[in-house]
Amino acid sequence: MAAVDETLLDDLGLVVAVRAPVERVVSLVPSLTESIAASAPGLLVGATNWCTHPGDLDVTRVRGTKNPDLEAVLRLAPDLVVANAEENREPDLAALRAAGLAVWVTAPTTVPAALDSLDRLLRLGCGLGRPSWLEEAAAVWREPFRETAGQPRRRAVIPIWRRPWMAVGRDTFTGDVLARLGVDNVLAGHAERYPRVTIADLPSHDLVVLPDEPYAFSPEDGPESFDAPAACVSGRHLTWYGPSLAEAPSVLRDQLAAAP
């Protein structure tokens, strides 16, 4: 019988009774799907319909992050299900636990926390070695932003949806990524993490950051609604924590600099 480690804790501090060795994983989070696929090809047996990276991923699809097909997950008999406190619904995760599955939940709100969370999930949860891409990501995020006369800090609004307008608020991974690139979220002190907003009532800002997910903002859909310059950026590099973190600083700096 496989050994069960009762001492492992996920990001929520919950015990995850992982049976070693872990040979079958279902991921309910696109960024974690990419992380595991890049670290151990063949370990994943299931992922959501929204898991787009890597592009050649050939696994059973288990519907969406907010409405996973729980019966399909159970039929896959995974050794571990990986999820995120923000992207997945607790009732779904509780149902998987009640069915006897080990569920590991991530919940980072900063870049350092994301790097640590990924390290723990891959090494302790999945029983893998520390991947090279994680070392590369840690290295590129060590250098802090240095404000200069030619490169001052900026104050930004970061919409994530329209109709209704919603934006990034307090304590988010996205806000921390931008802060480390010299862009301060003007709604970082808001009581909500993703508040509904009215454009006319937004705090003073000199930049609008428009990611292409979850809403697909683009140069033709979004910038026209604001008076401030807008930067259309990669949502994967701004909001995902995984292999994309290794190239995120350079990609996002270029996209932010392109704002008129």
- Tokens 């390290």 appear where? 119
Residue 148 — pLDDT band, cuts 50, 70, 90? confident
Two tokens, residue 217: 């903002």
Strands 25-27 and 80-84: parallel
| 141, pLDDT greater than 70 | yes
The rounded distance, in Å, linking the Cα atoms of 146 and 239 is 22
pLDDT tens, position by position, 204-257:
999 999 999 999 999 999 999 999 999 999 999 999 999 999 999 999 999 999
Beta carbons within 10 angstroms of residue 103's beta carbon = 24
pLDDT tens, position by position, 74-123:
999 999 999 999 999 999 999 999 999 999 999 999 999 999 999 999 99
Residue 118 and residue 35 in contact, taking contact as beta carbons nearer than 8 Å: yes
Domains 3-139 and 154-257 share a fold: yes
What is the predicted pLDDT for the residue at 95?
Answer: 98
Please, how many CA atoms are within 13 Å of residue 91, restricted to the half-sphere of its CB? Answer: 3
The rounded distance, in Å, linking the Cα atoms of 16 and 82 is 11
Could you tell me the CATH superfamily of domain 3-139?
Answer: Nitrogenase molybdenum iron protein domain (3.40.50.1980)
- What ranges do the domains of the chain cover? 3-139, 154-257
Residues with Cβ < 8 Å from 3, sequence gap 6 or more? 19, 20
Q: How many residues are recorded in the chain?
A: 260
Query: What CATH class has 154-257?
Result: alpha beta
| SS3 state of residue 154 | strand
| 3, pLDDT greater than 70 | no
The dihedral region occupied by 195, where left means phi > 0, alpha psi between -120 and 50, and beta the remainder, is beta
Residue 6 — pLDDT band, cuts 50, 70, 90? low
Q: Is the pTM of this model over 0.85?
A: yes
Average pLDDT (174-193) is 97
Nearest in space to 222 (alpha carbons), one of 236, 232, 214, 207: 232
Two tokens, residue 187: 């709604």
